[in-house]
A and B are shown apart, each in its own frame.
Chain A
């Protein structure tokens, strides 16, 4: 019976094919999932590798590692406080400058500028984000730090600091607490915590401003137009309608910028002066976690290398949580949009 034979064999072929398809499908799924899990592995691996590398520093110094200002390869004693302070101080200065400027840029581009100007200006600002960090570092080292040392720093030390050239303390240095200490310096060069903070600020402005601009554009037009119809000015609409509506995402954008600033290596290494000392003055050189690692890791060994790994672990954990908060805040607005 040839007819039934053909039917049977064609059913057989079909069955075999669908079985093959199912197997291929399973393999493909596993391959894809494996690739996606590599993202997870990269994060866990980076944390694990630095923790493992820093184990002897953590076990030798314990919690004391976090609060010690020592960094003495001669006696093999290390503490994290100086680089941690440098990282935090430069990042905070960067935020202090970058947040208002980014808000201004986002405001200008979403509410103020004429429509034909918005795209080109936004692209130009985004170009700033594309410039490699080492270029910022070079510009900071050769152009901005000397400019700062010649034109801005003398004014700051003489008018705000507690170590002016002529020895006469200004009114501000005498009467406002802390300011004298913050701006007092006898160090002659530009490279300092403040300059590193400024360079970082320029680097993170495009990140923060593009997030802010994006979220400002999600505000429903009817909300804004209702406020305009009631007679609000552009500023009042921005401050009382746009900003409250997008608050969580704006904070998310700021944290995103902070995450960038904390982990930035090259731009900071060039302009921080790399001094392993703790100084109250923003005009004195300092160091940061990332620049300490960049400068010392190749020549380090033993406990010093382990301490550098421990620093990297601290940096990674802190940036992880900062970025986690950033993404959670940004997601809140996305949810609001969806509902």
Chain B
């Protein structure tokens, strides 16, 4: 075999080997991170975590953080879902191929990966500062502000999936309805959104998965609270924020609780992304 063939063959083997190695590296880190989260998290799980609050410190639990997370995430999704679905509908049904529509679609993709901490500062400026000024300091940081910050992060996810899913709906459906004299808004709300429903639900679930692990935008909006807070105008604690606080604390007991919180958040996020996949795969089957 001549030298050039040998060299090409060796280059090929080397490249293939390295690409396999790269994949193994990626998988190894995934396994390492998940394994540590499971090991340290399950070891620290106990009933106190779900029944006691963070005011008790090392002897307490994360109950207020879990409740806070649920409330803040709910507010975020409740704001982002209607706005996101309507905006996505506008992009797909009304502004497809218009200049403004293309621009907004493009900017939405940028918002999708914009730094979340800046979104936190934005909400701090438009909600926390004015509410402090209006109430003379009695309401400052609030769960509601945290929810709005998360809504800004969930919004582009929902806009994008709604837009994409609506554009997958066959145009015969639109033509059939329009030829019967159905006004376009009725067609959109009662036929198209229904046809794309499971895709849109997937988008909402993905957005929820995305925001439930967010920490940075909550630091200056919901702030944190060592006591149970259920009123959205109060300062509110959340799991990621408590994880951040406890992990930076020197105490080993608090580290264990941070791991337990990390375990809960990770499981929640992974289950959500699994659920969104299931919803989507079910749709695909029904379309066949």
Q: Which residues of A contact B (CB under 8 A)?
A: 21, 24-25, 28-29, 31-33, 35-40, 42-43, 45-46, 49-50, 52-53, 100-105, 107-109, 111-113, 121, 124-125, 127-128, 130-139, 141-143, 202, 205-206, 209, 233-236, 238-239, 256, 259-260, 262-266, 270, 290, 293-294, 297-298, 309, 312, 315-316, 319-320, 323-324, 327
Q: Contact between A132 and B269 (Cβ–Cβ < 8 Å)?
A: yes
Beyond A32-B94, A320-B110, whether A39 also contacts B104 by CB under 8 A is yes
C-alpha gap A54/B11 in the complex (Å): 54
Q: Which residues of A contact B126 (CB under 8 A)?
A: 45, 49
Q: Which single member of B29, B33, B91 contacts A36 (CB below 8 Å)? A: B91
Beyond A138-B243, A327-B106, whether A25 also contacts B212 by CB under 8 A is no
Which residues 13-43 of B sit at the A interface, judged by CB distance below 8 A?
15-16, 18-23, 25-27, 29-30, 32-34, 36-37, 40
B270 within 8 A of partner (CB)? yes
Q: Which residues of A contact B67 (CB under 8 A)?
A: none
Q: Which residues of B contact A136 (CB under 8 A)?
A: 33
**B interface secondary structure, majority:** helix
Beyond A130-B209, A132-B212, A256-B113, whether A49 also contacts B29 by CB under 8 A is no
Q: Contact between A125 and B33 (Cβ–Cβ < 8 Å)?
A: no
Q: Contact between B155 and A39 (Cβ–Cβ < 8 Å)?
A: yes
Closest CB in chain B relative to A185 CB, distance in Å: 23
A-B pairs, 9 with minimum CB distance = A132-B213, A104-B22, A263-B115, A32-B90, A28-B185, A49-B125, A233-B12, A265-B216, A235-B15
Q: List 7 A-B contacts (CB under 8 A).
A: A39-B155, A50-B122, A52-B125, A107-B22, A134-B215, A265-B216, A315-B115
Q: Which residues of B contact A108 (CB under 8 A)?
A: 19-20, 22-23
> C-beta contact mask, B72-115 vs A, less than 8 Å → 1, else 0?
00000000001110110111011100000101101111110111
C-alpha gap A107/B84 in the complex (Å): 35
C-alpha gap A127/B27 in the complex (Å): 10
Beyond A46-B118, A135-B33, A234-B12, whether A130 also contacts B243 by CB under 8 A is no
A28-B188, A312-B117 known; 18 new pairs, CB 8 Å cut-off, are: A21-B183, A33-B90, A39-B108, A40-B103, A43-B110, A101-B25, A105-B23, A124-B27, A124-B30, A127-B273, A137-B244, A142-B40, A234-B16, A263-B117, A294-B216, A319-B115, A320-B110, A327-B110
Closest CB in chain A relative to B4 CB, distance in Å: 12
C-alpha gap A25/B188 in the complex (Å): 11
CB nearest neighbor in A for B151: A42
Q: Which residues of B contact A320 (CB under 8 A)?
A: 110, 114
Q: Which single member of A32, A323, A324 contacts B86 (CB below 8 Å)? A: A32
Beyond A294-B117, A316-B118, whether A133 also contacts B213 by CB under 8 A is yes
C-alpha gap A225/B65 in the complex (Å): 56
B121 within 8 A of partner (CB)? yes
Q: Which residues of A contact B33 (CB under 8 A)?
A: 128, 131, 135-136, 139, 202
B201 within 8 A of partner (CB)? no
Q: Which residues of B contact A (CB under 8 A)?
A: 8-9, 11-12, 15-16, 18-23, 25-27, 29-30, 32-34, 36-37, 40, 82-84, 86-87, 89-91, 93-95, 101, 103-104, 106-111, 113-119, 121-122, 125-126, 152, 155-156, 159, 183-185, 188, 209, 212-216, 219-220, 223, 240, 243-244, 247-248, 255, 258-259, 262, 265-266, 269-270, 273
CB nearest neighbor in A for B30: A128
Q: Which single member of A29, A37, A43, A125 contacts B111 (CB below 8 Å)? A: A43
Q: Contact between B114 and A263 (Cβ–Cβ < 8 Å)?
A: yes
Q: Which residues of B contact A52 (CB under 8 A)?
A: 125
Q: Contact between A36 and B104 (Cβ–Cβ < 8 Å)?
A: yes
Q: Contact between B209 and A39 (Cβ–Cβ < 8 Å)?
A: no
Q: Contact between B90 and A324 (Cβ–Cβ < 8 Å)?
A: no
Q: Contact between B209 and A25 (Cβ–Cβ < 8 Å)?
A: no
Q: Contact between B19 and A105 (Cβ–Cβ < 8 Å)?
A: yes
Q: Which residues of B contact A239 (CB under 8 A)?
A: 15
Closest CB in chain A relative to B62 CB, distance in Å: 14
Q: Which residues of A contact B113 (CB under 8 A)?
A: 256, 259-260, 263, 319, 323
Closest CB in chain B relative to A263 CB, distance in Å: 3
C-alpha gap A163/B67 in the complex (Å): 50
Q: Which residues of B contact A25 (CB under 8 A)?
A: 183-185
